[in-house]
């Protein structure tokens, strides 16, 4: 075995003590290539260190310090010998002891590492591996990574709060974990909502179940003038979605893409009732995509009972004194009846 790259490149490591399964030069090389090859400082923790080959490779590639943890007496002697061979003895600490206990001590001393390497014996008990993995994030610095070498399928373990990728090299799986950044998914539900219908509310509710936050954007459509002012339309929506904690209602005066950018949204949610909706929605989605390629339009299929329902139908029925019960949410029934029938009367009077 040799050091693959860095300041000690090519230096030979000593003989492997019995019972230790060292990582092959090829896997070590691939592993460090996936990590970014070379480093500028920081500390590395090599758990179940065996011959210390992984930690030594990290020192050779630029890590400033390393802590090696190993229980087996002969393996500890091999690590010390390899540190002498590579000249890294002054940058290393070799701890003989049980990994779980050493982790506790390091955590108590508030030691942090940019890289934690873990190559446990393949026959390690699942419960021990799980317990060790669950403690590792407390030792990891903000941008740090945890590398686990394992003989089992990576899907059999994970680290809470971390996301991992796994590569397979023959019978060896190498999983690299980094902290999962918590990103909030914000979606915009745009429309004229003139007025909001039971179908709209169903789509908003379902979107709120998928995304962290939904902003209902009450917009104007230059191609058709709204009957009610946007403030009034927004007020009606607020009345019926007020019980949904992750939904807010806002007025959109400009372009939808600008509204989405201002609100940090990457998704537009629209309801699709039937094939007849598709053409216009497809056109709008393409136009928006052209203006802001990172913005995705997602369609939620309307419930069957809403497939015939539209704001224009509600306007017409309410305007002519018909019953819109079931077509708009119960809480705004009277307001819709009043506002849209009054609106129709004014229109008729104007015509007359």
Judged by CB under 6 A, the chain residues 13 through 42 that form the site for ligand PNS are: none
**268 CB-near residues (< 8 Å, 6+ apart):** 187, 188, 189, 190, 256, 260, 285, 288, 295, 296, 297, 298
Sort 238 into a burial class: Cβ within 10 Å, 0-12 / 13-18 / 19+. middle
Q: Confirm or reject binding of residue 341 to ligand PNS (CB under 6 A).
A: no
Which residue lies nearer to ligand PNS by CB, 284 or 307? 284
Q: How many residues bind ligand PNS (CB under 6 A)?
A: 10
Residue at shortest CB range from ligand PNS? 219
Which residue lies nearer to ligand PNS by CB, 147 or 295? 295
Do strands 172-179 and 162-169 pair parallel, antiparallel, or not at all (unpaired)?
antiparallel
- Beta strands (DSSP E) in the chain are 43-47, 65-70, 92-96, 113-118, 140-150, 162-169, 172-179, 186-191, 213-218, 247-251, 267-272, 296-301
Which residue lies nearer to ligand PNS by CB, 246 or 284? 284
Q: Is 200 a catalytic residue?
A: yes
| Distance from chain centroid for Cα 138 | 21
Q: Which SS3 state, helix, strand or coil, does residue 32 take?
A: helix
Closest approach, Cβ 204 to ligand PNS, in A, equals 12
Which one is catalytic: 61, 65, 200, 227?
200
Q: Are 91 and 65 in contact (CB under 8 A)?
A: yes
Q: Which x/- pattern over 80-119 shows residues binding ligand PNS (rule: CB under 6 A)?
A: ----------------------------------------
Q: Are 193 and 271 in contact (CB under 8 A)?
A: no
Q: Is 273 a catalytic residue?
A: yes
Which one is catalytic: 311, 315, 337, 341?
311
**How far is Cα 267 from Cα 186, in angstroms, rounded to an integer?**
7
Structure tokens at 311: 């704001």
Give residue for tokens 């003590």.
Answer: 17
Q: Confirm or reject binding of residue 288 to ligand PNS (CB under 6 A).
A: yes
Q: Confirm or reject binding of residue 287 to ligand PNS (CB under 6 A).
A: yes
Q: Is 311 a catalytic residue?
A: yes
Q: Are 8 and 150 in contact (CB under 8 A)?
A: no
Closest approach, Cβ 309 to ligand PNS, in A, equals 12
Which residue lies nearer to ligand PNS by CB, 270 or 337? 270
Closest by Cα among 292, 291, 34, 280 to 169: 34
Residue from the set 284, 303, 333, 344 that interacts with ligand PNS by CB under 6 A: 284
Structure tokens at 216: 């209902």
Which one is catalytic: 9, 74, 224, 345?
224
Closest approach, Cβ 215 to ligand PNS, in A, equals 13
Closest approach, Cβ 133 to ligand PNS, in A, equals 47
Which residue lies nearer to ligand PNS by CB, 52 or 190? 190
**How far is Cα 129 from Cα 53, in angstroms, rounded to an integer?**
21
**How far is Cα 49 from Cα 72, in angstroms, rounded to an integer?**
10
Q: Confirm or reject binding of residue 219 to ligand PNS (CB under 6 A).
A: yes
Q: Confirm or reject binding of residue 221 to ligand PNS (CB under 6 A).
A: yes
**How far is Cα 276 from Cα 62, in angstroms, rounded to an integer?**
62
Which one is catalytic: 28, 61, 114, 273?
273
Judged by CB under 6 A, the chain residues 174 through 193 that form the site for ligand PNS are: 190-192
Q: Is 173 a catalytic residue?
A: no
Judged by CB under 6 A, the chain residues 246 through 265 that form the site for ligand PNS are: 255-256
Closest by Cα among 221, 232, 222 to 190: 221
Closest approach, Cβ 188 to ligand PNS, in A, equals 9
Q: Are 215 and 246 in contact (CB under 8 A)?
A: no
Which residue lies nearer to ligand PNS by CB, 127 or 280? 280
Binding site for ligand PNS (CB under 6 A): 190-192, 219, 221, 255-256, 284, 287-288
Catalytically active residues are 200, 224, 273, 311
């Amino acid at each position: 075995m040799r050091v693959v790259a860095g300041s000690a490149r090519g230096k030979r490591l000593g003989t492997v003590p019995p019972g230790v399964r060292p990582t092959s030069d090829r896997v070590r090389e691939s592993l460090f290539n996936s990590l970014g090859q070379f480093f500028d400082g920081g500390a590395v923790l090599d758990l179940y260190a065996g011959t210390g080959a992984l930690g030594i490779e990290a020192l050779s590639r630029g890590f400033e310090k390393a802590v090696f943890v190993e229980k087996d007496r002969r393996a500890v002697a091999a690590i010390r010998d390899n540190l002498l061979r590579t000249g890294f003895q002054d940058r290393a600490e070799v701890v003989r002891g049980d990994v779980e206990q050493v982790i506790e001590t390091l955590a108590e001393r508030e030691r942090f590492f940019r890289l934690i390497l873990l190559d446990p014996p393949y026959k390690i008990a699942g419960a021990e591996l799980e317990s060790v993995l669950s403690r590792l994030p407390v030792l990891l610095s903000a941008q740090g990574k945890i590398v686990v070498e394992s003989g089992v399928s990576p899907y059999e373990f994970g680290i809470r709060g971390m996301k991992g990728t796994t590569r397979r090299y023959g019978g060896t799986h190498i999983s690299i974990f980094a902290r999962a950044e918590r990103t909030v998914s914000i979606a915009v539900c745009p429309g004229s909502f003139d007025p909001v219908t039971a179908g709209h509310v169903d789509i908003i509710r379902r979107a709120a179940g998928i995304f962290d936050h939904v902003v209902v954007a009450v917009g104007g459509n230059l191609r058709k003038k709204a009957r009610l002012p946007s403030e009034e339309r927004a007020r009606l929506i607020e009345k019926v979605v007020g019980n949904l904690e992750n939904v807010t209602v806002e007025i959109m005066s400009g372009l939808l893409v600008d509204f989405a950018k201002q609100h940090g949204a990457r998704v537009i949610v629209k309801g699709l009732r039937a094939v007849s909706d598709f053409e216009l929605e497809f056109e709008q989605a393409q136009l928006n995509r052209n203006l802001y390629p990172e913005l995705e339009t997602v369609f939620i299929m309307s419930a069957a009972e809403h497939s015939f329902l539209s704001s224009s139908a509600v306007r017409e029925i309410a305007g002519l004194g018909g019953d819109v019960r079931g077509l708009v949410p119960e809480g705004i029934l009277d307001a819709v009846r009043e506002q849209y029938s009054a609106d129709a009367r004014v229109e008729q009077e104007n015509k007359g």
